């Protein structure tokens, strides 16, 4: 069916607002990743889920960033009290399961602009 | 720590010319290297990975562990190859991808 989908595609937030970004992975994909891509940079890892378990959150830049995947499918990345430096494209990717041989499929991204 | 370096932000060539996009990595373990491509208005997608040893759309890349490089090559560039190209690294013990900053390839007629 469809690939990875993300919503909203674009989000403008005033500094200090909270935002929630949604990711719908490919059905049946066990692994889910969030990346942050600042302008002119490559994607940078934020966090990784295997089913509902958040196994790696080493890339989250501050405690204002929180991610969840409560039922092992849809995931939400929440940013509290947004700052200008949070402006970036947030990419979600999913793969069949753990293992470096499993291709990560990327969503279209959510472009967050903090004013 | 893992690191991927793509020294060129922009590579501009004429159609039919050879192309080489450079990628160097830093990783103490056994690496898995990938090239991802993003065409205009499209999402990031896998182009090729070193373990498959495939040629995709005429592109090849060879892992050189001695030089810690994984350069992407194509003998004759086409206009439709114009895109952003990202080199990425993964390895045993971590699931994430570590990306370089990307190289924009522009192929002119």
Q: Are A112 and A19 in contact (CB under 8 A)?
A: yes
Q: Which chain B residues touch A48 with a CB distance below 8 Å?
A: 95-96
User: Which residue in chain B is spatially nearest to A109 when comparing CA positions?
Assistant: B43
The Cα angle at residue B48 between residues A24 and B76, in degrees rounded to 5: 130
Tell me how crowded residue A27 is: count the other CB atoms within 10 A of its CB: 9
Per the listing, tokens 């192309």 go with: B19
Mean pLDDT of the region A95-105: 82
Q: Are B51 and B41 in contact (CB under 8 A)?
A: no
Handedness of CA B80, B86, B89, B94 (dihedral sign): negative
Listed in sequence order, the residues at least 6 apart from A93 whose beta carbon sits closer than 8 Å to its beta carbon are A4, A32, A33, A35, A104, A105, A106, A107
Q: Are A67 and A60 in contact (CB under 8 A)?
A: yes
CB < 8 Å from A in window 17-56 of B: 32, 43-46, 49, 51
Tell me how crowded residue B58 is: count the other CB atoms within 10 A of its CB: 13
Q: Do A104 and B100 touch (CB under 8 A)?
A: no
How would residue A1 be classed by pLDDT, with cut points 50, 70 and 90? low
pLDDT digits (tens, 9 = 90+) for A62-84: 999 999 999 999 999 999 999 99
Per the listing, tokens 């290297």 go with: B33
A27 inside 8 A of chain B by CB:
no
How would residue A105 be classed by pLDDT, with cut points 50, 70 and 90? very high
Q: Do B95 and A42 touch (CB under 8 A)?
A: no
Mean pLDDT (chain A, rounded): 95
**CB nearest A56 (choices: B96, B98, B102):** B96
CA-derived radius of gyration, chain B: 13
A42 inside 8 A of chain B by CB:
yes
Q: Do A59 and B96 touch (CB under 8 A)?
A: yes
Q: Are B61 and B33 in contact (CB under 8 A)?
A: yes
d(CA B36, CA A15): 33
pLDDT at B28: 87
**CB nearest B95 (choices: A31, A41, A107):** A31
d(CA B19, CA B34): 17
Those residues of chain B that have pLDDT short of 70 are none
Kindly state the DSSP code that residue B69 receives in the 8-state scheme.
B
- According to DSSP, the β-strands at B10-14 and B60-61 are unpaired
User: Which residue in chain A is spatially nearest to B6 when comparing CA positions?
Assistant: A42
Structure-token pair, residue B65: 């562990």
pLDDT digits (tens, 9 = 90+) for A21-77: 999 999 999 999 999 999 999 999 999 999 999 999 999 999 999 999 999 999 999
Give the C-alpha distances (Å, rounded to integers) separating A70 from A36, A54, A80, B91.
21, 10, 19, 27
């Amino acid at each position: 069916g469809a690939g990875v989908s993300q919503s909203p595609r674009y989000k403008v937030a005033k500094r200090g607002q909270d935002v929630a970004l949604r990711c719908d992975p490919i059905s049946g994909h066990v692994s889910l990743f969030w990346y942050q891509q600042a302008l002119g940079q490559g994607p940078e890892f934020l966090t990784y889920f295997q089913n509902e378990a958040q196994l790696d959150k080493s890339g989250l830049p501050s405690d204002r960033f929180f991610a969840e995947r409560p039922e092992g499918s849809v995931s939400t990345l929440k940013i509290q009290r947004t700052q200008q430096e949070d402006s970036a494209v947030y990419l979600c990717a999913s793969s069949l399961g753990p293992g470096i041989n499993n291709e990560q499929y990327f969503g279209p991204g959510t472009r967050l602009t903090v004013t | 720590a893992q690191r991927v370096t793509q020294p060129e932000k922009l590579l501009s060539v004429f159609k039919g010319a050879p192309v080489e996009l450079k990628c160097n990595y830093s990783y103490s373990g056994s690496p898995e290297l990938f090239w991802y491509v993003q065409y205009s208005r499209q999402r990031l997608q896998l182009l090729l990975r070193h373990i498959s040893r495939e040629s995709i759309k005429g592109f090849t890349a060879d892992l050189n562990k001695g030089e810690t490089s994984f350069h992407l090559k194509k003998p004759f560039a086409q206009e439709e190859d114009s895109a952003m190209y990202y080199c990425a690294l993964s390895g045993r013990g971590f699931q994430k991808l570590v990306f370089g900053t990307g190289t924009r390839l522009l192929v002119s007629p």
